[in-house]
């Protein structure tokens, strides 16, 4: 279903997924006066505490998704892995401006990389594989190191196998019979950057500043914005190629690699709010969550600007263990805790954003706080 009119509060925004992204979307929507309904399989989903209606159901429960859609004027999702059949049905019967086809392509790393490559944007060499022989053949062409990833369901480095040498391949037991895999050339990174953009239902596009991301153990550790390298225009040009090939409505983020020769490659795309743009809540005139809500309700988007340089640090389970009682000692920290009851290592429990005139000095201070011995 399409919609040409603008949706005004108190219209109801239905959000599929009530994790931290759903929570921050709901908070933004509520500030503007919209009502929010959320569906999530977890009883203590972070968004539950900030929505008008909560539906406790699985993402595969079509009846529950229909209930959510029936009570909503617009349906959006923060969760990417919705079943194709169900999502296509929802899109045909309700107003789901993000649509089905883009997210279904992006659910599968091989389909995603093929689509990005076909758009003319640059990706690292990759191939769909189903055996160790396939990996050996790929290694003959592209040489080690390589990285093997599940084509579906992976996030925060889950389902990934790093192969430095042929011996690693011999040692690793990749479960080919369980699922599908893709192999990529593992490139030496100078750094990683990401570009967050929003496209409204009316076709207006705005870009947030380029973000510089540091990962640890494949999980985002820190974002600096704006990035300290000058790739904004190049990244935007890649984004435009991708937008010509795929329809986006709402906020989306393109993750990029920059290799040691300074070449920019598209890594992956998230058709929803992204961890690397959380800093926009404090640092920009509108946050990525505001941009998403404005986009899906068909409201005009303002030009985006950033007030001040920003650093965002993720608070994983182990970081909270160290910082728990000190979190509010540093008055310059904007603390966000998502309200997850189960604290686990490597689980994203919250984040901290700091606005500063001196990124380098702030990094030194943060290192002391985040890496101190306990």
Residue 145 CB, nearest distance to ligand ADP (Å)?
A: 8
Per-residue b/e over 240-251, b at no fewer than 16 CB within 10 Å? ebbbebbebbbb
Pick the closest to residue 339 from 329, 349, 330 (CA basis). Answer: 349
Contacting residue, 8, 84, 155, 332, with ligand ADP by CB under 6 A: 155
Distance CA 349, CA 305 (A): 28
Stretch that binds ligand ADP, among 49-57, 78-86, 185-193, 334-342 (CB under 6 A): 185-193
* Residue among 107 and 298 whose Cβ is closer to ligand ADP: 107
Residue 116 CB, nearest distance to ligand ADP (Å)?
A: 12
* Residue among 193 and 354 whose Cβ is closer to ligand ADP: 193
Q: Is 215 in the site for ligand ADP (CB under 6 A)?
A: yes
373: left (phi over 0), alpha (psi -120 to 50) or beta: beta
Phi, then psi, of 70 in degrees rounded to 5: -60, -35
- Residue 322 contacts residue 338 (beta carbons within 8 Å): no
DSSP string, 189-237: EEEEEEEEEEE-TTS-EEEPPPEEEEEETTEEEEEEES-SSS-HHHHHH
Residue 125 CB, nearest distance to ligand ADP (Å)?
A: 9
DSSP string, 24-53: HHHHHHHHHT-EEEEEESSTT-GGGGG-SE
Q: Is 106 in the site for ligand ADP (CB under 6 A)?
A: no
**In the block, which residue shows the tokens 């380029």?**
210
Stretch that binds ligand ADP, among 90-98, 181-189, 311-319, 345-353 (CB under 6 A): 181-189
Q: Is 270 in the site for ligand ADP (CB under 6 A)?
A: no
CA atoms 271, 272, 275, 276: torsion sign:
positive
Residue 219 CB, nearest distance to ligand ADP (Å)?
A: 8
Residue 113 CB, nearest distance to ligand ADP (Å)?
A: 10
Q: Is 147 in the site for ligand ADP (CB under 6 A)?
A: yes
Distance of CA 261 to the CA centre of its chain: 26
Contacting residue, 112, 268, 309, 319, with ligand ADP by CB under 6 A: 268
Contacting residue, 61, 80, 127, 156, with ligand ADP by CB under 6 A: 156
Contacting residue, 32, 134, 142, 157, with ligand ADP by CB under 6 A: 157
Q: Is 186 in the site for ligand ADP (CB under 6 A)?
A: yes
Distance CA 327, CA 282 (A): 17
Q: Which residues bind ligand ADP (CB under 6 A)?
A: 124, 147, 154-157, 184, 186-187, 189, 192, 215, 218, 255, 257, 267-268
């Amino acid at each position: 279903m399409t919609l040409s009119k603008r949706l005004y509060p108190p219209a109801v925004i239905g959000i599929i997924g009530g994790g931290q992204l759903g929570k921050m979307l709901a908070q933004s929507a509520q500030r503007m006066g919209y009502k929010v309904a959320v569906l999530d399989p977890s009883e203590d989903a972070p968004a539950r505490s900030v929505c008008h209606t909560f539906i406790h159901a699985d993402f595969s429960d079509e009846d529950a998704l229909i209930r959510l859609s029936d009570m909503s004027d617009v349906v959006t999702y923060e969760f990417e892995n919705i079943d194709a059949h169900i999502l296509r049905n929802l899109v045909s019967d309700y107003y789901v401006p993000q649509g089905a086809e883009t997210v279904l392509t992006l659910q599968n790393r091989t389909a995603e990389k093929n689509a990005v490559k076909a758009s003319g944007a640059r990706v690292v060499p990759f191939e769909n594989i189903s055996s160790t022989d396939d990996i050996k053949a790929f290694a003959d062409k592209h040489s080690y190191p390589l990285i093997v990833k599940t084509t579906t369901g992976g996030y925060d480095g889950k389902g990934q196998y790093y192969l430095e040498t042929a011996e690693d391949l011999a040692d690793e037991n990749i479960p080919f019979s369980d699922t599908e895999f893709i192999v990529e050339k593992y490139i030496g990174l100078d750094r990683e950057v990401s570009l967050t953009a929003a496209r409204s239902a009316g076709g207006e596009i705005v870009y947030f500043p380029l973000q510089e991301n540091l990962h640890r153990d494949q999980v985002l550790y820190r974002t600096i914005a704006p990035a300290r390298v000058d790739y904004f225009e190049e990244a935007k040009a890649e984004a435009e190629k991708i937008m010509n090939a795929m329809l986006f409505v709402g906020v989306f983020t393109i993750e990029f690699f920059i290799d040691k020769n300074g070449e920019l490659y598209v890594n992956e795309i998230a058709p929803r709010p992204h961890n690397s743009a959380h800093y926009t809540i404090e640092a920009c005139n509108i946050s990525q969550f505001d941009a998403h809500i404005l986009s899906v309700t068909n409201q005009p988007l303002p030009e985006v600007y950033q007030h001040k340089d920003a650093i965002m640090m993720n608070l994983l389970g182990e970081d909270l263990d160290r910082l728990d009682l000190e979190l509010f000692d540093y008055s310059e920290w904007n603390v966000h805790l998502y309200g997850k009851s189960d604290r686990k290592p490597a689980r994203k429990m919250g984040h901290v954003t700091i606005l500063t005139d001196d990124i380098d000095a702030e990094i030194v201070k943060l290192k002391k706080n985040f890496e101190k011995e306990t």
